[in-house]
Amino acid sequence: MSLTIYRKAHFNAAHRLFRKEWSDEKNLEVFGKCSNPKYHGHNYDLEVGITGELDPETGFLINLDIVKQIIEQDIEEAFDHKNLNLEVPEFASLNPTVENIAIVIYNKLRLKIPEQYDITVKLFETARNFVVYTG
């Protein structure tokens, strides 16, 4: 038996894919145009799923307003209209691939969402590319 409630959010950010340890040539070879040193950007669409037991008194799995506030404060304010490489500490030395961004979001939410709930992070980098991470 499984009940999951989802909340959507979004943020717009600049990034580039690269490893500092590699030359520009090697970064270009591995990451292609995504390694452009002058950055490009995306509208990231986020779906956060919370899995757990229903509270029979309220009929809520969790108060979604609280989830919404955590997402706004910890994810949207931290990432929106930012350069992920330069301005978001988690990516100072971590390549901001859509996979890594999803893992960072999961880890940030895991600190705030009570333990009895499982978390699913679905993150769209474009309408065609997206990831799902469940911890």
Binding string to its own copies for residues 28 to 57, with x set by CB under 8 A, is what? Answer: --xxxxx-x-xxxxxx-----x----x--x
Smallest distance, Å, CB 112 to its own copies? 19
Q: Which of residues 106-125 bind its own copies (CB under 8 A)?
A: none
DSSP category for residue 51:
E
Report residue 111 as tokens: 């600190």
Binding string to its own copies for residues 72 to 111, with x set by CB under 8 A, is what? Answer: --------xxxx--xx------xxxxxxx-xx--------
**Which residues bind to its own copies, rule: CB under 8 A?**
1-8, 10, 12-15, 17, 19, 30-34, 36, 38-43, 49, 54, 57-61, 64-65, 80-83, 86-87, 94-100, 102-103, 126-135
